[in-house]
Every structure is written in structure tokens, then in C-alpha cells.
Amino acid sequence: MRPFVVGLGRSGAGLHVASLLRAGAVGDTWFAGPPLALDPRPEAGARLDGVVRVDSPEHAASLSDPAATVVHLCTPPSRRVAVLGELAALGFTRVLVEKPLAADRAQLDRLDALRRRHDLHIEVVSHWLSARLTHELAELVDAGEWGLLRSVSFHQDKPRLLRGQSDDGHPSAFDVEIPHALGVVLRLAGPATVTRAGCQDLRTETASRPLMGGAWLTLRHEGGVVSELRSDLTAPIQRRSVRLRFADGEAVGHYPISERDDHARLTVTGREPAIFRDDALAAFLRDAYRNFATGRRVTYPVHHAVVRLLCEAKERAAIPTGSPSLEALS
């Protein structure tokens, strides 16, 4: 199956295309042919080598059979439904979308309708679920060596001041980093409901942006575990850390902070710290293409649940859920 990357912003060009080209360079053959790439902005991905630029979805369909193509839809959630509808009308049915699946309930309902109408196979970028660190944490929970899991806490901090001031694709800080952690806590602790949530504005000496400074929420899982997720997008340092507290011990993990270094760290009570390679995006893409090839559709309900929790958190934080224009890519 041939990749078709739609949207050449940071995620499309910097993550998806880069991972595809790295895989091709080492002979990893879970995809076929050089990736197609589309973005209406001339400057987007202008320096990309190793891809075939197209100027429209119709152009892409003339170069690659839509039924044998995987679309990497790297547009913001607020602009996704219109683009997905155009692609589906051309016969593209295998679609890998950036997180979160949708930004509000109305978008999710429209996306669900498109999925049913065109029998779309949708996978959501959730590389933390494919990360070795997540698998190690899940094994700790399942083994029960330190007793029952009591709580999970995530901190996802990074300086996102310039991007946050101009970002018109993410309605709030809930849509930036929090979706990564939500999928993981659902894997570790099971179904949950939101008990508390809040969001803060981004403010600098010269600018401000409502709702883009950071977000937090607390979940209560059906088994009694409590999860706390926090994301500070004005932080001076970057971290992606998780702490699991058990009845008789704890585990602290650190996910790779960027594509520049793919190592994770795990410290568990009574053990020496472990540092290991964890190229989660590459692992996720292989898993997703395997699902597309075999027709295995098992991940959509998880991401549907993530969006429902995000919507619940936004409602508790009194965030408006109107959708901006769907006209342009990002």
C-alpha cells in the first residue's frame, strides 16, 4: 500500500514523512512506493526530498489506486471532516488520522456518519499505545507484583508559545498533548469518567491566546483507579512523564520528548532504572499498516472513547465547542 500524506505541517512533514523515509532507507517494506504528499501552501514541505508532490486529491488518485493507498490525514481536527469527505468520495477508504479523532461531539458525529457511509477503515495516530514503555507499564499492572494499581499521573509539558499564538487548528490545550495520555490511561486502568477539568490561557508579555496555555483533568476509572493528566504548554522545559502508584510500590516512566531522540526511561521500585530505544511512531505505523492489510479494525472504539472524554472535560471546563472553518489544510 502506498502512503499519501495530506498536510505537510509539523506532524505531516516532520513526523509522518520522516518516519516513512527512514523506514524506506533501511529496507522496511510495509509500504510500497515513494509517499505522495499534498499541501496547498507552497512553502509547506518545500525542502522535502523522497516524496512525490501532488496538487489535489484527484491528482493523487490518478497516480495511485485509492483502494491500495493509505491516506495519512495530518490536518487539524477542526478541519478534518470536509477533507475526509472529499477523499472518501474518490475511493480512499484506508485513512490514518492525527490525534485527536475529533475536537467536539458534532465533528465526531459527522466523522462517524462518513465512516459508515463509505465503510472507512480509520486508524488514529496513537504511537504511545505502541510504545515499548506503555507495554512495560501494562505488564507491571497485569502482573500485580506491587499490588493493585491505585493511581496514574501524567505530566506533558513543553514550550509551545509561538505555535500556540497562531494555532487555528487546535481549539484548546486539551487537543494538543492530552489525547496521547488519555489512550494510555484507558489501556492501563480501563473505562473512566471525568470528575474535574480545567484550562488556562496562553499569556506572554506581548500576546495572549485563550485556552492554549495548558489543560488538566482528573478521571475516575470503573475499578477505582484515579488518573490525573496535566499539560503545561508555557513550560520552560519539555517532559512527558508518567507515574503509576501501586499498593506496594511505584513506577515512573519518561517517554521520548521528540523525534530527535527515541529513548525512554523506566524506574520501578526495587529495580535499577532502565533506558531503552522506543521509536513508538515507527512501531505504530507498522501496526497500522498491518491492520489495514489484514482488515483488522479494533482500535477505533478506544479513540472514540478518548474524544468523548475530551468533550466531557471541555464541558466541565466550560469551553465553547463551536467548530472553526473547514476550508483549508494545515
The chain-wide mean pLDDT, for the chain, equals 91
Assign 146 to helix, strand or coil. Answer: coil
The rounded distance, in Å, linking the Cα atoms of 330 and 11 is 10
Model confidence at 26: pLDDT above 90: no
Model confidence at 142: pLDDT above 80: yes
For the structural domain made of 129-280, what CATH number should be given?
3.30.360.10
Model confidence at 327: pLDDT above 60: no
The rounded distance, in Å, linking the Cα atoms of 145 and 190 is 19
The rounded distance, in Å, linking the Cα atoms of 106 and 104 is 6
pLDDT score for 132: 96
Rounded mean pLDDT of 286-294?
A: 93
Among 186, 183, 205, 81, residue whose Cα is nearest residue 125:
183
Span(s) in the chain for CATH 3.40.50.720:
2-127+284-316
Assign 26 to helix, strand or coil. Answer: coil
Least confident of 63-72, 161-170, 184-193, 320-329: 320-329
Q: Convert the pLDDT of each residue in 178-205 to its tens digit.
A: 999 999 999 999 999 999 999 999 999 9
Q: How confident is residue 321, by pLDDT bands cut at 50, 70 and 90? A: low
122, 115 in Cβ contact below 8 A?
Answer: yes
pLDDT score for 45: 77
Higher pLDDT among residues 105 and 91, named by residue: 91
Count Cα neighbours of 310 within 13 Å in the Cβ-side half-sphere.
32
β-sheet with 226-232: strand ranges across: 192-203, 208-221, 226-232, 149-159, 234-246, 250-254, 263-268, 274-277
Span(s) in the chain for CATH 3.30.360.10:
129-280
pTM of the model: 0.89
Amino acid in the structure at residue 234: T
Model confidence at 294: pLDDT above 50: yes
Q: What whole-number percentage of the chain has pLDDT above 90?
A: 73
Among 125, 123, 67, residue whose Cα is nearest residue 95:
123
* The dihedral formed by the CA atoms of 80, 86, 89 and 95, expressed in degrees to the nearest 10: -40
Amino acid in the structure at residue 277: R
What topology is assigned to 2-127+284-316 in CATH?
Rossmann fold (3.40.50)
Element (H, E) at 132: helix 132-143
Model confidence at 87: pLDDT above 90: yes
pLDDT score for 169: 67
Cell of 6: 495530506
131, 38 in Cβ contact below 8 A?
Answer: no
The rounded distance, in Å, linking the Cα atoms of 226 and 223 is 9
pLDDT score for 8: 93
Question: Nearest 5 degrees, angle CA 295-CA 180-CA 120?
Answer: 25
pLDDT score for 328: 32
In this structure, is the dihedral angle defined by the CA atoms of residues 192, 255, 141 and 245, taken in order, positive or negative? negative
Q: How confident is residue 25, by pLDDT bands cut at 50, 70 and 90? A: low
List, in sequence order, every residue forming a beta bridge with 122; answer none if it has no partner: 95
pLDDT score for 329: 35
Model confidence at 124: pLDDT above 50: yes
Model confidence at 172: pLDDT above 50: yes
Packed helices 178-189 and 300-316: angle between N→C axes, nearest 10 degrees: 120
Q: Convert the pLDDT of each residue in 32-56 to its tens digit.
A: 889 999 998 888 877 788 999 999 9
Higher pLDDT among residues 137 and 102, named by residue: 137
Distances (CA, A) of 156 to 105, 134, 180, 241: 24, 15, 9, 7
The rounded distance, in Å, linking the Cα atoms of 94 and 258 is 27
Q: Convert the pLDDT of each residue in 211-233 to its tens digit.
A: 999 999 999 999 999 999 999 99
Model confidence at 24: pLDDT above 80: no
